[in-house]
Structure 1
């Protein structure tokens, strides 16, 4: 897919040992081969060619044209794969040095372990591997010592080719302070690239041989465009757009990096003359090639052309087009062997793929991802479990740019130490600190990046318990709407103990709200260790769900009920329209006691339906039906359960009423209150089981004693009749 994309953007696949085009009389062809954002991809993996094939391609192209230089636009190391990262990227530095890398600008990731490590170990390692000035591995004309204002890195490097001096000016995005842990670069400042380029270009073109001169000048900028359209790049209002349009006319070509995009353009400079502007994708998938026709006498560039060469390609015989460099192959093999000693250890298991954001995982850092939320959950667990000695964290945040690989289920869900390390390769310490609810809102707002940033939005992974709704297109500072924590509205006056990696905690990626928190403390854990311990403490790790960040509003669908009133034991048919085809909704009701998850996906018309059952015994009253779609605010619909209509009274059984018994009478007693007795009749009241009421007491009367015998006889007769009625009544009522 990557190769197809590159071809679609104008890439031309290189052939083995291509013959150099003949130069015009009095000129020669200077080929500049370039990479950017290699990120320690030393081993061949899918579209990443690996260091050996990369070096082999350079060998092949140098053989075709000896007037060739091999350069990089930065981020050679850092965010690397495990074979390199497990050894502090020493294998990558050695492989690039042995593979003939002539010059490189510094990228933001060269500062991952701090400026001291870059100036010492990194530069010295390159010098040893390449046999050249180690400082040429990390040019940085816009990197200054904070105390003196003087350049802190070498500003340019010069190579002589066919008697002509070729100067390379290196710069890095001024956003570095927001991209690396600030403590590692606390003594540095990062200035404007355009100013630095024009200052150095003027020096190299002023005719003063005491301060170096260069006839051909190439800028190596670790900055780039998010676009691949040359017209868009030429007009964009970013610091990079200013650089490509405003760089001095003495600059003959611009090699870019940082944004991991493939493009090869001709863009006009300040006087209208067009010059090459290229970026060679990422990870060693592609080799950029700028060909300059240079006048042998004056050193002036007469013409230019560009192309992007896919590297991990094979010929019709299924052989690599570029033969791997043997020396670099040995370096890579040794590095892999060393890393595999620990990398193959199983640390845990997952139940499904856990992925970064975008249609192609990792392609979009501006959307919610299962991996971002999962890593946030891991960091929260690491700083809140019973073995953690510090103050327990309540909320965790994770930056999308810190996630460099996905966790894939594979055959059985096994997660190796190497796989975990590939996800978070920066060895960041976890920091805990306090934020108010208002600062949490501010941090969530800062997902929408400042104007001019390389990416317009950087989505935070957030831990379980925190959720919010947002409006994508809203004025700055007004994107975030409702925020909840553990199901309740977030108290913006309260203080919460949170955790993030050291990069975020210090305000990285322009999340200044985190740096403004209080009581920052080192948890004593790095992100990789936290991940390993989490997996060891959980039998199986499932992907954290999407939907902690939800688009505000409930107009994404329409809900219709077959009736809004129903009795217990009845069903209500629910129809949902206005969905996208294939959308999968869920429903819940009765305070969450009823969950409906097997609703059919929306059809081509965006419609689906299901049955809402009302259980027997449900109390009468109003209830809420919630219709949910991942990453959408739930739609609430009210329906009423009405009381069940009482059934008709049972028909009493037929029996003859005693005629000899007197009618009920009421006679005042001594207190003046009336007392009554009821004699049985055909309409005697029935109990629920059909038995007639036979427990009436005799009335008290004022008759004389002479009537006692008669009354007693009547009572006996009445009792016999009642027994007969009860017996035959029971038979008739069953």
Structure 2
């Protein structure tokens, strides 16, 4: 039985067929509903999923026990079945991401010691017995993707430090040229050290203990333009994005993302889990965007990126940056109402970073810097400039699904937008935004450069991580599909637009 979902239907459905015109009129209603589900494993299973239209197989990251990629027979989306698995432990410490293009499966595998260089393993999807390539990339490859023309495989190599923060490998981006026998160039950020002061003055974060900019940068997620010319990579903990020229295999730009002022109208947030209500208010905060996933699209030949601004911090034995506002000493001039502000029902339990805000390092904070913008944002792909920040994400969710909102996360990242993908249905551009902490996907229609209209909210499994759109042209049943991977309960859920 199909589940029901809260939605605003933008267009009426009309499917007509008569003797004079036997061709059905295309369905123009956007209304997804769940048609099936499949449990992949326990926690840490079903994190990222890729689809191969040539074999009708899904490939699913599964790290719930020993690391593997589960292969799912998806020829009938109503009844997906696990058909086999690829053991990843033979290649390294664990698989973080998978991607498929033109009959090739690429897997991003970290080393047994995560600070060492990782590997990209490539298979033919029709023969999963022996890899056709094993390519060394940078430390901790966290995301892998193909360019639309299938020539390039690109990885974001996060380069996280060890827990003691005594080893901090450089963050990097690897570009693998499929047409050149899978040759690889791994790009670091050493050349941007001279721009460090300027980048930081515009909101870029470089703050790891004793780290150079190249060590501190942590690439997270990759998007590539439709012409396979450029890649953009989020630098999550650093609050920015890199641009890569794929033909020259160079990082051309690092774009700082600046700050969001939560004291002004339109940027309100629910900052407490102890106020016995969901209340979006203005607070004296400057929040870092700290985006996770991103997706690219083009309008009139110009490239744009959508980032989902999850927020992320460093929390290691050797260095930790999080603190609650109530546990900080606030400057009495900057915060004359500090006592009231630091109550649990106000801003007291809100989590901020201690990497900024104490300008003279005397332990007294003159400003408060929040973690994550709780929004999604459109950026100009050429200049890195903000086009618009969609501030109504939490407002939209609360308006249509208030019972799903987790007020216990008010003090830390809110709904936590983490995944995003873009799909086309009947020339309509849809944006799917995964919300990890309220177990939902928001669906929007995008028109023009940056006009968004809310369509629907889909209730998902626990902590949706991967959001995969399958077009009607590639779908096994000819219907547009959305596959959501939920890492905390290990389920795939399949939604169909009829």
**TM tier relative to shorter chain:** under 0.3
Asked which structure has the greater CA Rg, the reply is 1
Give the TM-score of the pair, scaled to structure 1: 0.20
* Structure richer in strand, relative to its length: 2
- Higher-RCO chain (CA-CA 8 Å, sequence separation at least 6): 2
* Structure richer in helix, relative to its length: 1
Give the TM-score of the pair, scaled to structure 2: 0.27
